[in-house]
Amino acid sequence: MLLMAFDSTQQALRAEMLLDYAEIENDMCPTPKEITAGCALSLEFQEADLPEVRRIIKEERVDIHGLYSKEDGHYVNLEL
């Protein structure tokens, strides 16, 4: 699973709606304490969906704090 963090609740809800519309399975979850973001909500999604998620956030101009993978118990920021 990958994680998308946000700086605003509005953008988190917008991203959830866009991913749902694109039929990309996602789950809203609390932003881990390890990730400092302005919003307490994050979205989890399958790594296989990353190319489509990247396309959506770029085309729809979704403001995100970052994309993260969890490796060895720590979150690693992925490049957009």
Query: 14, 8 in Cβ contact below 8 A?
Result: no
pLDDT of residue 37: 72
Q: Domains plus CATH for the chain? A: 2-78 (3.30.70)
DSSP state of 71: E
Query: What pLDDT was estimated at residue 43?
Result: 97
What ranges in 1-80 are assigned the alpha helix state H? 9-21, 50-59
| pTM summary value | 0.89
The pLDDT score that the predictor gives to residue 36 is 80
| Residue segments in the chain with a per-residue pLDDT below the cut of 70 | 80
Contact 32, 62 (CB under 8 A): no
Torsion of CA 50, 18, 36, 73, to 10 degrees: -40
